[in-house]
Amino acid sequence: MMILSISIVFALLVTIGLPVLAGVWINKHLKVTWQVITLGALGYFIVQALFTLLYSGFAFLMKIETSQPLVDIDNLFHLVISIFITALLGMTLRWAGMKYLKMPLINLEAAYGIGLGFGGIESITRVGLPLLMTFFTMVRGINSQTSHLEPEIMAQLNELWKVSPWVPLAGSFERIAALVMHITITILVLEYFTSNNKLWLGAAVGLEVVINALILGLVYLGLPSVWLIPIAMLVTYGNLVLLHRLNAFKFSKPTPQSDTSA
């Protein structure tokens, strides 16, 4: 129980604390405004809304039940489609924001802010907050005599305490990989504007498709959680190498952007 608790606390620090601290750091050191970071977060919610709309329509046309789990073998094709749609929407929204919003977004610092906002809010809302609420309930139900929870709920909580500590730990490393991936994707979109080469947009879509297909595919195949840790570390390393090749660590002298909220 203690080891699992430590693993969960570490996961909470990664999924909630890391995005917030990273946002504070780039705001202070790169002079990226919170408005730009918020735009990235807003972009994530827009992508999710559009994906839900498009996938529901696709599911209707294919005459399938959208409530079926994606891991069902009959829905493997739809899992692949969902990965592609999400990647395409994410790239398109980044491109549209940089092109049409009347803000200084076509620069390396802003790309970091957008990518961090996108990946950070995904980490917080999809993993961090649900895990926090679950852990709070688990701790609350440790003492069955004082928790006043129903027996069915207590039984579920007892099962949760039997979860391997590797599960939240693996999720932590996966979230780090996803956060770095979203930053890399945003910088690939930025490369389109600096080089006027549409292949960069295709690379942005392809990178997200490959990484998400790899991670979700391994989960689909039932790979033990412990093996996701080195895979996530390799994915993170690969993205960092790509960022280095793109000279994404050579920042210009920070100049404050026009936003009083920073």
**Which residues are CB-neighbours of 256 under 8 A, at least 6 positions away?**
31, 33, 262
b (16+ CB within 10 A) / e for 4-18: beebbeebbebbbeb
236: tokens are 């993170």
Distance of CA 60 to the CA centre of its chain: 27
- pLDDT for 142: 74
Amino acid, res. 59: A
Distance of CA 246 to the CA centre of its chain: 22
Domain boundaries, the chain: 2-245
- pLDDT for 63: 60
Alpha-helical segments (H) within 30-75: 34-61
Task: Give the CA count within 13 Å in the CB-facing half-sphere of 237.
Answer: 6
Closest CA to 170 of 235, 118, 119, 245: 235
CA angle 42, 114, 25 (to 5 degrees): 115
176: tokens are 């780090």
22: tokens are 């990273």
234: tokens are 């390799």
Going 170 to 20 to 234 to 90, the CA torsion angle's sign is positive
Amino acid, res. 128: G
Burial of 239 (0-12, 13-18, 19+ CB in 10 A): buried
pLDDT, tens digit (0-9, with 9 covering 90-100), for 115-169: 999 999 999 999 999 999 999 988 887 766 656 667 777 788 888 888 999 999 9
- pLDDT for 70: 44
- pLDDT for 200: 97
Give the pTM.
0.88
- pLDDT for 252: 72
Residue 16 · residue 128 · CB < 8 Å: yes
Residue 244 · residue 189 · CB < 8 Å: no
- pLDDT for 262: 39
Residue ranges of the chain with per-residue pLDDT less than 50: 66, 69-71, 73, 254-262
